[in-house]
Amino acid sequence: MEKIDPEISLLFQCPSPKGITEAQVQAELSPLYDRRPLLGDQLQIEATWAERCKQNPWLFDGDKFRLHSVKLDETALTFLLGLTSYKDFVGTNLADGAARLQQRGWEDFGDRHAYLAQPLGVGAMLHTADDKFVFLKRSLLVGEAPEKVDIPGGHPEPQVVKGSTSLEGPICHQDLPGNLVVQELFSSVLREIQDEVNLPSPTLSSPVLLGIARNETSAGRCSVEFYVRCSLMSEEVRHYYAIGGPEAQESTSIIFVNREDVLTMEQNGELWKELCPSAKGAVRLYSVVMGKCQ
């Protein structure tokens, strides 16, 4: 019997074993896809944020894309996106009252995530030339899942799309053209690989989208999982990682796992127990979308 991990679920799985390319993706930005506000909830968000910042002074707020839903037709996969912030994520998805917000969202709108920030993340199943996948042991400096094993990843950034800094005031939906948002969605995962693993851009293939996984330990927060091929052997990747990139502080070590072991990790691997939920979602998506065809 297949084991079911309660920490993850799949929102969307690519129907093609080749994945979905950037040219096959669209984005629609609208305030209709923002988090629904609840009376008085901003005070709770501020209090939760202040407490988390005391525990982890490295946390910082910032604009994020909010995933409302996706729709697939014969020509494209379309992301329906609003805007949110990391502070709202901490104060809703990660708050002690997240389950209550989910229940209230279902009662009020038939949507368990209506009152949650739901910032969209990205992650990469990074495949080396000698048929290994790259995992990272997270450090104590990260805001989520410290000392767990993860894949390279992070967030697409609205500020990158707008070409702005935090000093220029709030970002509006109309500032973010859909084609540039899609470009940022795909380029952000390459940027995270470069920043966290320190790999040169020419060694990385264009990402293909495998699907979208939900982290059920953070109230269903979504992450788009990609497959990226690297032209380097694993020992070359280890060499670049040891030199260190801009986000080297986010991890303490690099781990390489043979492809065949990745495909059986959920059923048989001890490493599965050490993975953070986003990495589990990526491994599952790779296994069900591409695993049998490579």
- Kindly list the domain boundaries of the chain, sorted by start residue: 8-289
- For 216, counting Cβ atoms within 10 Å of its Cβ (0-12 exposed, 13-18 middle, 19+ buried), the class is middle
Question: Looking at residue 3, what is its pLDDT?
Answer: 53
Give the other-Cβ count within 10 Å of 148's Cβ: 17
Q: What is the CATH number of domain 8-289?
A: 3.90.79.10
Q: Which residues of the chain have pLDDT under 50?
A: 1-2
Instruction: Decide: 181 and 256 in contact? Cβ < 8 Å.
Output: no
Neighbours of 233 (CB within 10 A): 15
For 143-157, the pLDDT digits (tens) are 777 889 999 999 999
Q: Which residues of 159-185 are buried (b: 16+ CB within 10 A; e: fewer)?
A: bbbbeeeeeeeebebebbebeebbbbb
What's the confidence (pLDDT) of residue 282? 98
What is residue 167's predicted lDDT score, i.e. its pLDDT? 52
Identify which of 76, 86, 246 has the alpha carbon closest to the alpha carbon of residue 155.
Answer: 86
The span from the CA of 133 to the CA of 257, in Å, is 5
Greatest CA span in the chain, whole angstroms? 54
Helix 234-243, helix 178-197: angle, nearest 10: 90
pLDDT score, position 166: 53
Report strand pairing: 153-154 vs 121-127.
antiparallel
